[in-house]
Amino acid sequence: MNEQAKLYLLASGLFNQPTHNRIKDLHCLIDELLQTMPEWEILKALKPHLKYSEDLETEYSRLFILSFPNEAVQPFASYWIESDHSLMGNSTLEVKRMMLEHGIEIAENTGLLPDHIVSELEFIAYLVSQDDEKSQQTQQQLLEQHCSYWIPLFITALNKANPIPYYQLSANYLKQLMIPT
Amino acid sequence: MSTHDHFDPSRRAFLGAATGGTALTIAGLPSQALARINAPHDHEELKKTTEVFGFCDMCYWRCGLKIRSRDGRAVKIDGNTEHPNNWGVVCAKGNSGLMVAYAPNRLKYPMKRVGKRGENKWKQISWDEALDTVATELNKAKEKYGPQTLALIGHGSWEKPYHRLAHAFGTPNTTSPVFGLCCGPRGVSNMIIMGRNLTGNETIDLENCKYFLMMGRNITESLHNGETLGWVNGVANGAKVVYFDPRYSITAAKADEYYAIRPLTDHAFLLAMINVVINEELYDKQFIAEYVVGFDELKERVQKYTPEWAEPITEVPAQDIRRLAKEMAAKAPSVFVYAPRRMTRTSNDFGTGMAITILNTLFGVWGRKGGVFTPQNYKVPEIDLPKFEHATANRIDVGGDFNYEQPEIPIAHIQDKDGKYQRADGAGVMGRWPIANPQYGLTNEMWKAMAEQRPYPVKALMTAGGNGFLNSTNYDIIRKALETVDFYVATDVIPNEMNMYADILLPEASYLERYDDLQVGGGREGYVAVRMPAMKPLHGTRDAWTICKQLADRMDLGAYFPHDSIKELIDDRLKKAGSSLAEIEKVGILKIPADPKKNFPLDHGGKLKIKTPSGSSKAEMIPGMLKMMGYDKALDYVEQVRPNEDEFHMTFGRIGFHTHARTQDNVWTADLMRENVLWIHPESAAKRGINEGDLVKVSDRKGRSGEIKAKVTIRIRKDTIFMVHGFGHWDSRMTTANGKGLADSDLASYEVDPSIGSMSMGLSLVKVEKV
């Protein structure tokens, strides 16, 4: 897997439920990335925050599942793209189709939709790791015609929700990764 | 995609190729825990449009549906033209059902409370952890206090498996708001006088009715498709509509005559009608002679209720009362006195309900064309289960909804002479609320039992849908109950103020994503209908039956859920009825054809079969059961509260596109009405300097208050205000509904009907001032 794929995989993991094992794995992944990309300050900033705690899980739930005390940070593309904020909109199906074209689907019992930020980022990681033109085309299409629309909205909402440093940095990381300056 | 969180470098990495079986291993990447995607077997979900059958869950009428799906998602809801609850019609709420499944705010994963109760701090947990915790905590409560310590409150979804689970657990304390907070008074009135229920899907021959006397039955806004359609057809066929309501509703606008009756005084008007019908011999003499007892006593009893007596109370002119009685008699038996849908308003709703039943009976409407038809029932046996040790007998066993066979023992005893636990809410319990239906219970009293821990400890709570706050009243009691119980597990599709207090929150699949137990109904045609999933459950949700089955298995109650899946259960039941799941899935509904001889026996030389709870084979105008218990005083009028000069009657009701407090966060229904407003008469508004759109403060005599925008309109009495029910949510998880409008439930009164224990929500008197 190339470095770029790992970067997307890291992004996916950061927005996934922060279980003990996942945090441990993210730690390993960041260490790997820092070996080859020591200049990425955001990775260095993130590393000390990769510690499991119940507060982190609570914050994850607050931000992305059901609390929304001041801002809905819905992790679904469809929420931001569809005019009525519905999930499973056409935008979800577009992503699902793209995945299927590459032989990928969301496994049962994971509780994720195709356009959940975790699914999309991991799909991009997959595409980036492939060495064929079709994958590059899909990646470009997904990033330019889909992610570029909703990821900035998601990041803005996340920042407005006054998240703990872990998610402030994760938002910053996602911004650096996904939004060209 | 893995559900494991274990690091296993020997396993395939997070991605795999779909074809050729070549796993793509990612060197150095340690993480199956990161993996969320894996390879499919094929592209099976990208299929053309499919169609399944179901029945709606957006309100309690349960219309038959056909749901079209494409690419693995439900895309269109239509009505099942064969279903007698709607004949193919779907309302705005029904169409918005898709947004229950696709709601961004719906409950998605099992959650564990990590903050204080009601603080809304959660942690996502696995289903195994959630179910293990629930089973452990419920068993712990059972061990300490006995099985009766569990209360189940269900409302809003197909809650049957939860009741079964609770009964299997051993508690009698299962309840639904339908009796104490909604239809109880009219249900029990028809039952105790006629031995008939006449709630739920009412068996009224609307199409052929020639005269509707509608006591606040706002059928065009508190609407159910089949019922409203029947009424519209009745009107189109020439029926006269006389409508009574302090507010000029849409139904009032469609009526031939409208009376802005003084709030809470319907009973006085009805007693005067009975007086005229009896004294002027306008009743159906043959029907009374053949099917009624207690007529003479009734006659004597209503002599004092003359139209002249009623006029100053109701503000309905005496001469009009006489005329209406004569007009109705001229059209009888194709007439109907229509009770309001929710009848928990006055301090004597039971009396009002009985007056309606009596008046209908005097006109001989039962079993007659244009009156009340006798339904047919599709017999689908229940599955064979071990006996429930303490649950109240079910309705099939007692031949009706109301079981009066209660032992006479002191309240302090929690078990009767047979060792069965008495209900904590007192429904059906001698010395408490013996007339209240123990099948549904008194939800309002159950909250009180939990808050006060009387008559015995109720320490565990399970809710299946519902919203104790916005669907009831007296928030202090609800809050105290939720804070007092040792353990609270909530299951629902959507978040709300009540399940915000849960210790464990279980996310249910929506009605578009699951099979459910069969819908068995009785209309002119008897029917059984199926609910099929139009798509797979989204997120981490599970259907109600599976949740209950998995809990039962963990609590050694698996014998009560003997099937491996809900599909097997449905198939089992249908096979006992001579059909099968495969057969019903083709059509959605199986029916017994309408039979005029059975539906309208009195028009075809047949007889009416009556069996009242006291065993009478005739309708009891003065029910013997009541006299025996000393409750017959409810037949008489009870003076209702009157507002002071600066006060108003507080009224509330429904609108055609919202159901209770369940749809305000649905983006599609919210598009039609996002917040409620306060209806106030222009003269009353002017006195207070209130203009259209002004923010006003509404305060009651108990010190409760809230703010809402004013709608200044002549469509309401000067002494009355009105707001649409279900608004005023404060759960931050409901991002669409949160903070919109005012909750009527926090202003409605919480006195109870002294005869049956249902709530008297309309007794609240409020002041209004400009903010």
Tens of pLDDT along B121-149? 999 999 999 999 999 999 999 999 999 99
Torsion over CA: B701, B641, B724, B84 (sign): positive
Asked if A146 is an interface residue toward chain B (Cβ–Cβ < 8 A), one would say no
Report the alpha-carbon distance of residue B89 to residue B78 in Å, rounded: 7
User: For B325-381, what is each residue's pLDDT tens digit?
Assistant: 999 999 999 999 999 999 999 999 999 999 999 999 999 999 999 999 999 989 999
A-chain residue closest to B122, CA distance = A58
Q: Which residues of A touch B115 (CB under 8 A)?
A: 58
Enumerate domains of chain A plus CATH numbers: 3-178 (1.10.3480.10)
Query: CB-CB: which of A28, A68, A110 is closest to B36?
Result: A110
Q: Quick one: closest CA in B to A74, which residue?
A: B104
Q: Is 3.40.228.10 the CATH number for B186-375+610-635?
A: yes
pLDDT per position as a tens digit, B215-243? 999 999 999 999 999 999 999 999 999 99
Is A69 in the B-facing interface, judged by CB distances under 8 Å?
yes
pLDDT exceeds 70 at position B678: yes
Q: Where in chain B is the domain with CATH 2.40.40.20?
A: 648-770
SS (H, E, C) B136-182: HHHHHHHHHHCHHHEEEEEECCCCHHHHHHHHHHCCCCEECCCHHHH
- What pLDDT shows up at residue B438? 85
Fold category of B648-770 in CATH? Barwin-like endoglucanases (2.40.40)
From chain A residues 7-66, the ones with a CB under 8 A of any chain B CB are: 9, 12-13, 16-17, 19-22, 24-26, 28-29, 32, 54, 57-58, 60-62, 65-66
- In this structure, of B189-203, B389-403, B649-663, B713-727, the range with the lowest mean pLDDT score is B389-403
Which helix or strand (DSSP H or E) is residue B215 part of? strand B211-215
Compute the average pLDDT of residues B453-479: 95
Q: Tell me if B122 and A87 make a contact (CB, 8 A cut-off).
A: no
**CB atoms near residue B96 (< 10 Å):** 24
Residue range(s) of every CATH 3.40.50.740 domain in chain B? 111-181+388-511+537-561
Q: Note whether B123 contacts A67, CB cutoff 8 Å.
A: no
How far B17 CA sits from the closest chain A CA (Å)?
6
Tokens of B370: 């244009």
| Res B611: pLDDT | 92
Confidence of residue B45 (pLDDT cuts 50, 70, 90): low
Contact A9 B29 (CB under 8 A): yes
The span from the CA of B678 to the CA of B693, in Å, is: 9
CB B56 within 8 A of CB B62: yes
Closest in B6, B13, B104 to A21, CB measured:
B6
Instruction: State the nearest Cα–Cα gap between B31 and chain A, in angstroms.
Output: 6
The DSSP secondary structure of B697-751, one letter per residue, reads EEEETTS-EEEEEEEE-SSB-TTEEEEETT-----TT-TTTTT-S--GGGTS--E
Does A103 contact B17 at a Cβ distance shorter than 8 Å? yes
Interface probe for A, chosen from B124, B125, B729, B735 (most Cβ of A below 10 Å), is B124
* Tens-place pLDDT, residues A37-88: 998 999 999 999 999 999 999 999 999 998 666 778 999 999 999 999 999 9
pLDDT at B3 over 70: no
At a CB cut-off of 8 Å and minimum separation 6, what does B120 contact? A67, A69, B500, B731, B732, B733
Inform me whether the C-beta atom of residue A178 falls under 8 Å from chain B C-beta atoms. no
Residue B556's closest CA among B151, B142, B130?
Answer: B142
Would you call A54 and B123 a contact, using CB atoms and an 8 Å cutoff? yes
The minimum CA-CA distance between B10 and chain A, rounded to whole Å, is: 15
Q: How far apart are the first and last CA of chain A?
A: 26
As beta bridge partners, residue A13 has none
Contact B2 A107 (CB under 8 A): yes
Sheet holding B174-175, edge to edge: B122-124, B111-113, B504-507, B487-492, B460-465, B150-155, B174-175
Cβ atoms of residues B269 and B316 within 8 Å: yes
Which ipTM was obtained for this model?
A: 0.95
Tell me, what's the pLDDT at B7? 28
pLDDT surpassing 90 at residue B165:
yes
Delimit the CATH 3.40.228.10 region(s) of chain B: 186-375+610-635
pLDDT digit string, tens, across residues B474-526 = 999 999 999 999 999 999 999 999 999 999 999 999 999 999 999 998 889 99
pLDDT confidence band for A161 (50 / 70 / 90) = very high
C-alpha distances (whole Å) from B688 to each of B383, B644, B723, B767 are 62, 15, 18, 10
> For residues B725 and B653, is the Cβ–Cβ distance under 8 A?
yes
Distance CA B510, CA A45 (A): 42
Q: Which of B302, B256, B255, B312 is nearest to B277 (CA)?
A: B302
CB contact under 8 A, A84 and B667: yes
Q: What whole-number percentage of chain A has pLDDT above 70?
A: 98
Q: For position B390, what pLDDT does the model report?
A: 66
The pLDDT value recorded for residue A109 is: 77
Residues of B in contact with A9 (CB under 8 A): 14, 29, 31, 34
- Is residue A112 within 8 angstroms of chain B, CB to CB? yes
Looking up tokens 């008495």 gives B422
CB within 8 Å: A100 and B40: yes
Say if the Cβ atoms of B733 and A68 lie within 8 Å: yes
Which residues on A lie below 8 Å from B731 (Cβ)?
none
In chain B the first and final C-alpha atoms are separated, in Å, by 56
Pick the CATH number of B111-181+388-511+537-561 from 3.40.50.740, 1.20.1250.20, 3.40.50.300, 1.20.1440.130: 3.40.50.740
The answer to which of A126-135, B401-410, B725-734 has the lowest mean pLDDT is B401-410
Q: Kindly report the nearest CA distance between residue A111 and chain B, in angstroms.
A: 4
Tell me what pLDDT residue B385 has: 87
Q: What is the pLDDT of residue A67?
A: 66
